[in-house]
Amino acid sequence: MDITTIRTDGLGDSTYVLTYKGQAVIVDPQRDIERILVELADVTPRFILETHLHNDYVSGARDLAKKTGAELVLPAAAAPAYRHTPAFHLEELEHGDGMTIQPLHTPGHTPEHTSYLIMLEDRPVFVFSGGSLLVGSAGRPDLLGEERADTLARLQYGSVMRLAELPDDVGLYPTHGAGSFCTATKAARDTSTIGEEKKNNPVLLFPDEDTFVKSQLGGLVPYPRYYAEMGPANLYGYPPPPDSKPQAISADQLGRFPEAHIVDIRDRRAFAGGHIPGSIGIEHGKDFAVWTGWLLPFNAELVLVADQDQDVDMAIDDLSRIGFDRVVAVVTELSGYPDELRSYEVVTPEKARDLELQTLDVRDPIEWKTQHLDGSVWRYLPDLFAHGVPEAISRNERVLVVCRTGNRASIASSLLLDSGYQPVVVVDGGVAEMADQAVAHS
């Protein structure tokens, strides 16, 4: 028996392929199923298991089932609008050769959430826990709205405690891990054992349910806006990604796409050196899809601006995972743009220390409360795009923009320039490197 992990680092999620005696079980597949099909080349897919209706990505389970003939299994309470086998609590799925799959209803992250316990000759071996018990944490219970968060948190308490009753040597394979907004706290590893979690996971060490709930609901950072679209997409089914490729166009042809949002995926320094007015600079990296989905309308028409040597197909795949399928064109050369390009100044954290400028901090609330620069003004990046620049920031002087690494500060520069401000962006670092100016939140 072997388990292959297929990571999606930008979303902080894992897909698992369990193989046993020539057959395979796939757990929580992402939408870009080609990389999963590679792992299935020499085995027969038997089951595709979904732990819940995902809130952070478009599932590839339905498409994978059509292409492989594997049996698609979802929690019974999910009741999706397409053909599937419902997984009922403790009603085992027979894999054969002594292996069975036992669904365990583990509500909390979502009401229908189901974990899958792998049994070999009636002995528990692994549990695929989805968004229930995670490594060092538990799945957050607030993604369906604040009004349901307390109830779901209490259900989550019961679920993780029941999973903790499994034998210590049972392997724990959660879907959500480091980098996912679906976790209540961050973890350094993606897999573990029940025994390790009983010793080290804070959610299993709280004295009672109320303490657990208080911890789960306190200190949660905001989650991306596009999450609201993922549940319905996975409930009713989302069409497979389109086969068509975006057009390669020159910069002077952008007028052909008047409704498109221009997303510049080049390095943040290249964007600062010259970019198309009105474009938003979101450097292609592990957080690219998250920020695009958070800051732009869902499945908006997009034109990407890229360097000639960039892997644009990878960027398109990243967007596809969250349901953005309308990349209509790609520009790789700005020299033909008919108007003047915009630019702004970038500085290192070391140089920024010597600048006496008004400062805008665009990190998340927990980062700000933990440490921030004395005299700085705070507005989290998504709130900056939703509500505008704080009144305390003046257009009459330059504004130093900071975050943790320079990525979010660079994204913020697009809005600041369009709004008539003069940003000076700290790149390749941020508040921590300027720590001699930093203070704790009072």
3-state secondary structure 351-418: HHCCCCCEEEECCCHHHHHHCEECCCEECCHHHHHHHCCCCCCCCCCCEEEECCCCHHHHHHHHHHHH
User: Cα–Cα distance between 75 and 91 in angstroms, integer?
Assistant: 11
Pick the CATH number of 345-439 from 3.20.20.450, 3.40.50.1440, 3.40.250.10, 3.40.50.720: 3.40.250.10
- pLDDT over 70 (residue 184): no
pLDDT at residue 182, rounded to an integer:
75
Q: How confident is the model over 316-359, as pLDDT tens digits?
A: 999 999 999 999 999 999 999 999 999 999 999 999 999 999 99
Copy the structure tokens of residue 333.
């050369």
Whether the CB-CB separation of 29 and 17 falls below 8 Å is answered with no
Copy the structure tokens of residue 359.
């400062």
Whether the CB-CB separation of 17 and 1 falls below 8 Å is answered with no
pLDDT at residue 437, rounded to an integer:
56
What number of CA atoms fall less than 13 Å from residue 384's CA on the CB side? 28
pLDDT at residue 181, rounded to an integer:
82
User: Cα–Cα distance between 314 and 204 in angstroms, integer?
Assistant: 38
Amino acid present at 284:
H
What number of CA atoms fall less than 13 Å from residue 297's CA on the CB side? 8
pLDDT at residue 121, rounded to an integer:
94
- Structure letter (DSSP) for residue 245: P
Q: How many residues does the chain have?
A: 442
Q: How confident is the model over 126-180, as pLDDT tens digits?
A: 999 999 999 999 999 999 999 999 999 999 999 999 999 999 999 999 999 877 7
Is the domain spanning 2-235 CATH 3.60.15.10? The answer is yes
Closest by Cα among 145, 228, 132 to 184: 132
- Least confident stretch, 17-21, 246-250, 431-435: 431-435
Stated pTM of the model: 0.93
Map tokens 């604040």 to a residue.
Answer: 146
Amino acid present at 92:
E
Q: Report, as an integer, the average pLDDT of 9-13.
A: 93
CB atoms within 10 A of CB 236: 10
Q: Report, as an integer, the average pLDDT of 9-20.
A: 96
Give the percent of the chain with pLDDT over 70: 97
Q: Which residue has the higher pLDDT, 279 or 183?
A: 279
What's the order of all strands across the beta sheet hosting 93-96? 93-96, 99-105, 114-120, 123-130, 171-174, 192-193
Q: Which residues touch 346 (CB under 8 Å, ≥6 apart)? A: 268, 269, 272, 424, 425, 426, 427
Closest by Cα among 91, 123, 119, 85 to 105: 91
Q: How confident is the model over 398-417, as pLDDT tens digits?
A: 999 999 999 999 999 999 99
Q: Please provide the CATH number assigned to the domain covering 247-331.
A: 3.40.250.10
Whether the CB-CB separation of 281 and 264 falls below 8 Å is answered with yes
Tell me the pLDDT band of 307, cut-offs 50, 70 and 90.
very high
pLDDT at residue 76, rounded to an integer:
98
What number of CA atoms fall less than 13 Å from residue 331's CA on the CB side? 26
Tell me the pLDDT band of 442, cut-offs 50, 70 and 90.
very low
Average pLDDT, the chain: 95
- pLDDT over 90 (residue 26): yes
Whether the CB-CB separation of 60 and 40 falls below 8 Å is answered with no
Q: How confident is the model over 190-240, as pLDDT tens digits?
A: 899 999 999 999 999 999 999 999 999 998 889 999 999 999 999 999 998
pLDDT at residue 185, rounded to an integer:
61
Domain with CATH 3.60.15.10 in the chain: 2-235
Q: Which residue has the higher pLDDT, 436 or 319?
A: 319
Q: How confident is the model over 235-286, as pLDDT tens digits?
A: 999 998 998 999 999 999 999 999 999 999 999 999 999 999 999 999 999 9
Query: Residue 262: is it exposed, middle or buried by C-beta count within 10 angstroms (0-12/13-18/19+)?
Result: buried
User: Cα–Cα distance between 64 and 136 in angstroms, integer?
Assistant: 31
